[in-house]
């Protein structure tokens, strides 16, 4: 029915989970412009530093297929809060980590959070939206997922040109915590 309304609570949930997915994808692409700095700081070569994005993407790809199981086993709120906790924990480790293997562990943790958040947004849209609004909301969700990688390198370059690279994760933590407040 065209007059079906999207409940405010549903919009809030989609915005919160979509924002978390956006930040997860953004931090993935932000890292690519930081490779030269990371190579110098950790004294690693190009092939090694690329593991920062590779391991993240591998974990996201391994976590996403589990979303169906997780969605059946846990409430959406629980999954969202777990994804928030993983994003914050990974960011904290990125801030304080001073060895390359520690940074990789942080990326694994962040990848698990993103691997939960992105499909969770889609599950919420498909399961809770009025049927007449699913297409529109899926379009908005897809926009969130596709814009983040497009602007990530620009954001990373802009922030790292005036602040140390770890500042990106200092900025991310309050944003992630802020989006989790209404949930």
Encode pLDDT of 17-56 as tens digits.
999 999 999 998 999 999 999 999 999 999 999 999 999 9
pTM over 0.85: yes
| CA dist 121 → 10, 77, 118, 137 (Å) | 11, 11, 5, 10
Give the per-residue pLDDT at 99: 97
Please report which confidence band the pLDDT of residue 76 belongs to, taking 50, 70 and 90 as the band edges.
Answer: very high
- CB neighbours (10 Å) of residue 42? 17
- The tokens for 63 are 């976590």
Angle between helix 100-128 and helix 8-30 axes, rounded to 10 deg: 150
Q: Which pLDDT score, from 0 to 100, does residue 144 have?
A: 83
pLDDT tier, 3 (very low <50, low <70, confident <90, very high otherwise): low
SS3 for 98? coil
- DSSP string for 156-168: HHHHHHHS-TTHH
Rounded to 10 degrees, the C-alpha dihedral 123/15/24/74 comes to -40
Tokens representing 19 are 């924002």
Which structural domains are found in the chain, ordered by start? 8-180 (1.20.1250.20)
Mean pLDDT score of the chain, rounded to an integer?
Answer: 91
């Amino acid at each position: 029915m065209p007059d079906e309304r999207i409940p405010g609570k549903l919009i809030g949930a989609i915005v919160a989970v979509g924002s978390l997915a956006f930040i997860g994808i953004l931090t993935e692409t932000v890292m690519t412009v930081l490779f030269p700095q990371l190579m110098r700081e950790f004294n690693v070569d190009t092939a090694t530093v690329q593991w920062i994005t590779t391991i993240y993407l591998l974990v996201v790809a391994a976590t996403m297929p589990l979303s169906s199981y997780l969605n059946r086993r846990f409430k959406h709120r629980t999954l969202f809060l777990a994804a928030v906790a993983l994003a914050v924990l990974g960011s904290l480790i990125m801030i304080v980590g001073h060895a390359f293997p520690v940074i990789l562990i942080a990326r694994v943790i962040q990848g698990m959070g993103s691997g939960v958040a992105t499909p969770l947004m889609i599950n919420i849209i498909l399961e809770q939206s009025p049927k007449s609004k699913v297409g529109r909301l899926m379009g908005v969700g897809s926009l969130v997922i596709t814009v983040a990688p497009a602007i990530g390198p620009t954001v990373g370059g802009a922030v790292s040109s005036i602040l140390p690279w770890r500042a990106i994760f200092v900025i991310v933590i309050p944003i992630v915590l802020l989006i989790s407040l209404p949930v």
